[in-house]
Structure 1
Amino acid sequence: MDGLDLSSFLQLWGNSSGDALWLAAATPLLLLMGLALDWVIGDMRWLFRFLPHPVVIIGKLIGFLDKKLNREGRGDINRTVRGAVVTVFVTLVAAGTGWGVHMLTRQHPSGWMIDVLLVAILVAQRSLAGRVADVGKALGRNDLLKARDNLRHLVSRDPDKLDRHGVGRSALESLAENFSDAVVAPAFWFLLLGLPGLFAYKAINTMDSMIGYKTDRYLSFGMTAARLDDAVNWIPARLSGLLFVIGAAFAPGGKPARALKVMIRDAGKHASPNAGWPEAAMAGAFDMALGGPRLYPGGAKTESVWIGDGKARLEAGDVRRGLALFVIGCGLLWLFIAPLAILSLAG
């Protein structure tokens, strides 16, 4: 198509002549606007006092199917088959819903705004940064109880068993992992497949967080969901690590070469095939050690695995440095998407 200004470009949204090629060209621009909107308005708690959050709806569906199909007394093979069916069903429902919403928005010239809003709702740049910043501020005031309380919004492990250094490490581990899961991966799948890809990814990620545990109840039932989550996060996790490596060159005190070295060396030490990449990059960037033993509610404990070989006794200043790298990483993500958005206007 001929070069367009932004106004003319967006007016094509509701034009029935806009074909699949044009829609693919529009996606980077819509993604960039969605990421910018998320950074400006955050998690929009005011909106979800009146409307259910899409992830809450997905969670209720998963919880209903879990209750109905994952009953005690069933064998491992039975549970595995049922869990696989649930995983496929929820993923297809989410993707189909995304496709349906997109087709509805195309019926109105301003329908593109809904796509932008949904991107802003389903990524978590500002809200994630804000929650980690709250942990860092509490540590800076030497208010360990408040820091632990703020950490509960970020992790599933038991914060009450953590000292101040453990709280700092946990906050940065969550920040690094969620940079991939809550920012880069949703952006990646929206860029690749539009709203169907974004909705499907959020459904898969939510299933993993609800049923993808290696416990007696979910080891078999949640196996497919956990494996699928590993698969859809494989590329985004490694992209996240690379963004942190590049970002370390611009972060105060950051060491990009060290970040790259530690990422390559230690990413595989993590229990997850994906989470270790951004965590190791962050650890290396600031010569930290992340990880260590983790205690979860109910007494479950992970073995002591460390990523990075630097400072483990982290303080509020270390949390601030990690936040700076996160913000820079988000900015780099925008910069990588921006040329695609510009090409969509000029193409």
Structure 2
Amino acid sequence: MYTLLTAIAILLDRLVGDPKSWHPVIWIGQLISFLEEHLNEGGARKLKGAIAALTVIVATTAIVYGITTFAAQIHVVLWLIVEVLLISLALAQKSLKESAYVVADALEANDMTEARTKLGWIVGRDTSHLDEPEIVRGVVETVSENTSDGVTAPLLFALCFGATGAWFYKAINTLDSMIAYKNERYEQFGYVAAKLDDVANFIPSRLTGFLLLIATKAVYKQPFRERFANWRSHAKLHPSPNSGYLEAATAWQLGIRLGGYNRYGARESFRAYMGEPYEILQRKHIEAAVAHMHRVVLLITLGGVFIYAISRTWSESSFFI
């Protein structure tokens, strides 16, 4: 049943997207901020961070489970509606596309100031000095990484566990985005949150990256075995244990090079290169990255429906044996 509900939720998210004035992630973020403000001080910060992470995950999961259970007790139709709405809210397909396209549209209008500003909304790096290829790199890397974090990972959790599973994942991912930084303030407090996110994204990131390799058209016709080997080796160069599998797949499929120098205030850091620069980064690569996201989401959804149909057929045939 969750498979069909998730398929409907994916369509709803694709067409309607997130509400503009409110979102459950905001409430999760407020709880994280409250706990961080009161616990992230003094000693034992790693333990306090673990308590904060556990509190956020348990509270989020319990609330969503309570809402869906209450809806089911009232009427099955209400339960179906609530499940679809909550799963849809856990997905970020349309919002990710819109965030990417506002930058692409600014580039199309040759408004570099606007493009840098809008890119600054979705990345943490300093964007004030970037030229067009670097702006495009920032967008493509963000779309690529968030194809898993924002769409396919919660989608897979929803396919298995419904809205409760999707929001269990969203709680972990929101914790990671807010407190899992390697700096003096968060390195200890966000340690557990970062590790939980690594575990939660381990399978989704690799599955999504692999599907990108087999379900999208490679710009340069390398043998699949060669692209697969390059994907695996370059993915391991990324500082994140998961994000590299998305960015490396995107880079090799589009014939571009991702990674490079990023500036954060007065500090400059280098991220290992992934892919080869067969093409100069340009606006069309933003559109291609978004198209890749849509194709992989469709493939995972159809795969879920297929597995569900096969399991139903098998269970029914086994019943009559």
- Which residue of 81, 89, 104 corresponds with 2:70? 104
User: Contact 2:180/2:193 (CA < 8 Å) preserved in 1?
Assistant: yes
Which range is displaced more, 334-343 or 181-190?
A: 334-343
Matches of 1:192 and 1:337, distance apart in 2: 9
Correspondence for 2:10:
35
Correspondence for 1:307:
274
Matches of 2:87 and 2:234, distance apart in 1: 32
Displacement, 1:180? 0.4
Correspondence for 2:292:
325
The answer to whether residue 88 in structure 2 is matched with residue 120 in structure 1 is yes
The answer to whether residue 283 in structure 2 is matched with residue 316 in structure 1 is yes
For residues 158-188 of structure 1, the C-alpha deviation after alignment (integer angstroms, 9 at most, x for no partner) is 2213221111011000011000001111011
Matches of 1:255 and 1:88, distance apart in 2: 45
Q: What secondary structure is seen at the aligned counterpart in 1 of 2:76? A: coil
Displacement, 1:317? 1.9
User: Contact 1:161/1:295 (CA < 8 Å) preserved in 2?
Assistant: no
Aligned positions of 1:54-73 closer than 5 A: 54-71=24-41
Which range is displaced more, 154-163 or 235-244?
A: 154-163
Matches of 2:123 and 2:227, distance apart in 1: 24
Q: What secondary structure is seen at the aligned counterpart in 2 of 1:291? A: strand
Correspondence for 1:5:
none
Displacement, 1:97? 1.4
Aligned positions of 1:122-137 closer than 5 A: 122-137=90-105
- In structure 2, relative to structure 1, the CA distance for the partners of 1:300 and 1:80 (3 Å cut) is farther
Which range is displaced more, 286-295 or 173-182?
A: 286-295
Displacement, 1:344? 7.1
Displacement, 1:100? 0.8
Structure 2 gap ranges (5+): 317-321
Amino acid in structure 2 at the alignment position of 1:44: P
Amino acid in structure 2 at the alignment position of 1:64: F
Matches of 2:50 and 2:7, distance apart in 1: 34
User: Contact 2:255/2:279 (CA < 8 Å) preserved in 1?
Assistant: no
- In structure 2, relative to structure 1, the CA distance for the partners of 1:173 and 1:259 (3 Å cut) is farther
Matches of 2:143 and 2:205, distance apart in 1: 13
- In structure 2, relative to structure 1, the CA distance for the partners of 1:109 and 1:267 (3 Å cut) is same
Displacement, 1:318? 2.1
Matches of 1:179 and 1:254, distance apart in 2: 24
- In structure 2, relative to structure 1, the CA distance for the partners of 1:253 and 1:144 (3 Å cut) is farther
Displacement, 1:63? 0.1
Displacement, 1:311? 4.0
Amino acid in structure 2 at the alignment position of 1:305: A
Number of aligned positions between the proteins:
311
- RMSD, aligned α-carbons: 2.0
Correspondence for 2:319:
none
State the identity as a percent.
35
User: Contact 1:173/1:290 (CA < 8 Å) preserved in 2?
Assistant: yes
Amino acid in structure 2 at the alignment position of 1:165: P
Displacement, 1:341? 4.6
- Which residue of 208, 217, 227 corresponds with 1:240? 208
Correspondence for 2:56:
90
Displacement, 1:149? 2.0
User: Contact 2:238/2:271 (CA < 8 Å) preserved in 1?
Assistant: no
- In structure 2, relative to structure 1, the CA distance for the partners of 1:320 and 1:195 (3 Å cut) is closer
Matches of 1:255 and 1:62, distance apart in 2: 46
Displacement, 1:99? 1.4
- In structure 2, relative to structure 1, the CA distance for the partners of 1:59 and 1:254 (3 Å cut) is farther
Matches of 2:167 and 2:294, distance apart in 1: 24
Matches of 1:89 and 1:158, distance apart in 2: 33
